[in-house]
Structure 1
Amino acid sequence: MHSPIPDDYSTSCAPAIALRGISKRFGAVKANNDVDLTVARGEIHGIIGENGAGKSTLMSILYGFYEADSGSISVKGELVDIKNANDAIAVGIGMVHQHFMLVDNFSVLENVMLGAEKSFSLATSVSQTRKALAALSDQYGLAVDPDAITGDLPVGLQQRVEILKALYRGAEVLILDEPTGVLTPQEVEQLFDILNTLREQGVSVLLITHKLQEVLAITDKVSVMRAGTMVAERTTVDTSKEELAELMVGRKVLLHVDKSPANPQQTLLDVVDISWTDPRGVERLKSINLQLRAGEIVGVAGVSGNGQTELLSLLAGIAPVQQGHLNVCGTRVDATSLLDAKSFRHLGVGHVAEDRHRMGMVSAFSARETAIMGFEESDAYKSSGVAGALGLMSSSRVTEHCETLMAQFDVRPADPHLKSANFSGGNQQKLCIAREMEHQPKVLLVGQPTRGVDIGAIEFIHQQLVELRDAGSAILVVSVELEEVMSLCDRIVVMSEGRIVGEMESNEADAQRLGLMMGISSTSEIRS
């Protein structure tokens, strides 16, 4: 039973947004089921839930990407009909997507102006946009060079451009979809400063996130979705991380990794004096020395962009060794070696890429195709008889294999034929991790294991990594999440400016100590 908005309800007192009875079905899947949501003016309202809970679908309906099958939307007390993004913008709703919608080789000003030109005269539009940008930058603390090429800006500033785009178009309600997933800790702080300013100026913010610590830090209220329904709303100061996690998943969730002490054995990967220079002549890795031993998880902490990506690429055989050498499961690899990523895989190295969309999967492939990427030559997927001898795959075996992985790793929906792009981020990640772990690699390299993943899936992924460790694998985890590194890993190294500047056992680590190491100059080195 939904409470109607009274006819005499003053629009000056009405909520910024009121959704009533929103339902949306995609085939057999009911993504939203009779959902209500109210957001006050000048409020930061968090929306949380597991991957696939219906959060993004609900916001896509509010922004006009989808039309609801039933229900109503009111903006400032007035019923509105939002059929597309232009309708949403017209009533003051803006959205900043997880993956930015910017033209890299356009300037900031050109990106903001694109599609919202104020005049038939380009010169007049540019002049008006420049003045408007200056005013918005001053009002909301969104300083950015209007003439900078967008593709050259760091991610945090690109996000500012997206926010400016929405405000330039008159947004009074701003939807942010997983806004901190690609930001450094410093950029997250800057974003929160901006959100506080927006709130003070009367802008309402809808924050879709899976990071409970961020919900508690920045929101006024939080709504929890599960399986397409709205199951709870809480005033943020009256709730806790534990309560929100249980509401999201429907059961108590371990917010720390439950594991026994590590029992390190023989060294499986030895990194000796590795340096590496990129094609532009920038030295990205400087005299790296690191050992990975069977039966332990080693974490790499550091602000993104300090050499972690290059280190993973080198250890996975994607980038060639230039200086120094590696010992990979008993095989020496140096600048004279001709080994590639396929060769490293044969040596027993598994790799879960940092960016699953660019390197871990092909979005247009089905789940069953993603589940065998890199292992296509395995006899397990070949047809029987002559067809198998000719190297032909068995469609049924590939499907059955994917079904097994989906059941073991709780990938939803459990449809091997569904396109990889149509799974939520957390389920895409579980599929990629399942593919690599199934083959029991001697060494597993994992980049950002829980980026864009909800609390329930995080708990599951951590459990699987610990089980692989206990089975005798050596695991390297690169993560920008300090809580994850401290909780999951047995030993931690810190990278800054391409060097390892600190190393310690996880039981000696805390966020303050790691943070100090992450910020020190690479000319000095700290060892515990």
Structure 2
Amino acid sequence: MTTTSATPRLAVRHLTKRFGALIANDDVSLTIAPGELHCLLGENGAGKSTFSACLYGLLQPEAGEIEIDGVTAELTSPAKAIASGIGMVHQHFVLVPSFTVLENIVVGTGSGLRLDMTAARGRILDLSRQFGLEIAPDRLVADLSVGEKQWVEIVKALYLGARLLILDEPTAVLTPQESERLFAIIQQLKASGIAVILISHKMNEVMRSDRVSVLRKGRLVGTVTTKDVTRDDLTMMMVGRPVAQVHARSKPGAGETALSFTGVSLAKGGRTHLKNVTLDLAAGEIIGIAGVAGNGQDELLEAVAGLVRPDSGSIHLRGEDIGALSVHDIARRGVGYVPSDRFRDGLVSDFSIAENLILGQHWDERWRSGPFLDETATRRSAEQAIASYSVMASGPDMLCGRLSGGNAQKVILAREFAKARHLLLCNQPTRGVDIGVIEFVHGELLRKREEGCAILLVSEELEDIFALSDRIAVMFRGEILGIFPRHEADIARIGPLMAGHAHGAAA
């Protein structure tokens, strides 16, 4: 960390941001030095996103002062933030697919009637060389890998003069090798004096920072030097209690085959989503599907749930071909499905918790009183689910759209785990949730496994995959490139397969 300058790159004093009665950031003060990697850590709803949005001009605080290099900054818009030397790489990239890399970087930066594209290309190539980024200015963004798109976002921020760079969950969609490369780039940025704010819930990344600021319920719990604390120390600061590490224990033997794919292929929109997938899953077994997002994992689970129909091949559930069954009929056979996008596909935001807990089951006799819903039965069930899954809510009538991400996930888990007597399809169960919820989700998945439920687990979080799986399958462009027993799997074998390099695959 560069310490030659006595003036902080960023100084925030008494920042407060409210949304009605909710205080999202409560009197937060911190400083960040030039060349420092500073991690912002906290549970869902702790105020991390609000704080970074205030720094980038997306939100304006009700109170507080922000200084950049000793100068008070009025960050009333992203344009003002950029002019003050603040750049931000969002978790969901802000790029135009049909534009070239060069066009995406320079759009909106010209003055007068013309933009000197030759000079712009030269500066982009200079920045790329300086920070070890391989950027081809004339390639279409649509043709880039996820990792390459992130490099473009970083170069764009540097091109615009960023001296403070905010990275929001930057490795969420990267392979392990791309994540390592990102941290190598961060070291280059630090060496040049650029300060970096890292927002991450991955403790192995947090521990690579110089300092960590921990937020809890909108307030700054403290700022610590990373080398002076342990992961457990930071977890205690973040959630106020110890968090146990959950790992699957080996089982003596697999049960009968619960789910079987044979030569399953699917193409749509001119793209192959599944390619000759053949896989068996036993009762009481968890198979983890590792892969970068968009390589057929969603379609694999949707095909089992009946949401899409494969072009060829067969899927058998406990020996029965379910290819022609409806979504409802498949669910009634004891299948639970946790989708990757909780608010788009898993919940109706304007429905209550009680209503969401019976979605797709509202015609079942246990929820009916004649032609009407039995509100007593649905409320009683919802109260039990809220208690069992520790959902932070005012009660069964609370609208799901008002829940935090972690609590919304718990509602989906409560509903789908109850349905999953034989098979659970679980897609990104810990996406965007904090360490306390991750601990809970892991424990519930292992409980279902011990009950004899077969679980097909899709996660971009390799910590989930390694902690929970009995076997690990790696998908790339719709194809399973390798299947490993957990004890034979490691990053060195899994990572290259996630990037499409098929050497070292196991069957």
TM-score by length of 2: 0.87
Secondary structure of 2:151's counterpart equals helix
Tell me which amino acid in the other structure corresponds to 1:102. L
Matched, 1:313 2:302: yes
Task: Assess, with a 3 A threshold, how the Cα gap between structure 1 residues 106 and 30 changes in structure 2: closer, same or farther.
Answer: same
Distance in 2 (CA, whole Å) between partners of 1:87 and 1:429 is 36
With 66-75 and 478-487 compared, the bigger mean Cα shift is at: 478-487
1:272-300 per-position Cα deviation (integer Å, ceiling 9, x unaligned): 333444552647322x3322233222222
User: Where in structure 2 are the equivalents of 1:215-254 lying within 5 Å?
Assistant: 215-217=206-208, 219-254=209-244
Q: Which residue number corresponds to residue 44 of structure 1? A: 37
Task: Compute the displacement of 1:191 (Å).
Answer: 1.5
The reply on whether 1:141 has 2:132 as its aligned counterpart is yes
Q: Greater shift after overlay, 69-78 or 44-53?
A: 69-78
Q: Give the CA deviation at 1:487.
A: 1.5
Report if the CA contact (8 A) 1:447-1:478 is conserved. Answer: yes
Q: Which residue of 2 aligns with 1:64?
A: 57
- Determine whether 1:354 maps to 2:340: yes
CA RMSD after TM alignment: 3.2
For residue 171 of structure 2, what is the aligned residue in structure 1? 180
Residue 294, structure 1, aligned to residue 279, structure 2:
no
Residues 112-511 of structure 1: matches in 2 within 5 Å? 112-121=105-114, 124-217=115-208, 219-257=209-247, 261=251, 264-280=254-270, 282=272, 284-286=274-276, 288-304=277-293, 306-334=295-323, 337=324, 339-356=325-342, 359-361=345-347, 365=350, 368=353, 371-372=356-357, 375=360, 377-379=362-364, 384-386=369-371, 388=372, 405-412=385-392, 414=394, 417-418=398-399, 420=401, 424-495=404-475, 498-511=478-491
Mean Cα deviation higher: 345-354 or 373-382: 373-382
SS at match of 2:207: helix
SS at match of 1:438: helix
Residue 131 of structure 1: how far off its partner (Å):
3.4
1:418–1:27 CA distance, 2 compared to 1 (3 A): farther
Q: Please state how far the C-alpha of 1:262 moved relative to its aligned partner.
A: 6.8
Q: Unpaired runs of 5+ in structure 2? A: none
The answer on whether the counterparts of 1:496 and 1:522 sit within 8 Å (CA) in structure 2 is: no
Q: CA deviation at 1:491?
A: 3.1
Q: Deviation of residue 199 (structure 1)?
A: 1.0
CA gap 1:499/1:108 in 2 versus in 1, 3 angstroms: closer
Aligned identity (percent) is 42
Distance, in Å, in 1 between the alignment partners of 2:356 and 2:119 is 51
Residue 50 of structure 1 contacts residue 455 of structure 1 at CA under 8 Å; is this kept in 2?
yes
8 Å Cα contact 2:173/2:460 also seen in 1: no
Q: Which runs of 5+ in 1 are unaligned?
A: 1-10
Amino acid corresponding to residue 159 of structure 1 in structure 2: Q
Tell me if structure 1 keeps the 8 A contact 2:175–2:498: no
Alpha-carbon distance between aligned partners in 1 of 2:301 and 2:229, rounded to the nearest angstrom: 39
> CA contact under 8 A between 2:284 and 2:453: conserved in structure 1?
yes
SS class of match (2:430): coil
Q: Which moved more, 1:344-353 or 1:58-67?
A: 344-353
Per-residue displacement from partner, 1:175-199 (whole Å, max 9, x unpaired)? 1111111112122122212211111
**Displacement after TM superposition at 1:61 (Å):** 1.4
Q: In the TM superposition, what is the alpha-carbon distance from 1:366 to its structure 2 partner?
A: 5.2
**Separation in 2 of the partners of 1:432 and 1:280?**
32
Structure 2 CA distance, aligned partners of 1:424 and 1:299?
A: 26
Using the TM superposition, name which of 409-418 and 157-166 deviates more: 409-418
> Is the aligned partner of 1:80 residue 2:69?
no
Aligned 8 A contact 2:273 2:299 in 1: no
Offset, 1:259: 5.7
Task: Give the TM-score taking structure 1 as reference length.
Answer: 0.84
SS at structure 2 position matched to 1:37: strand
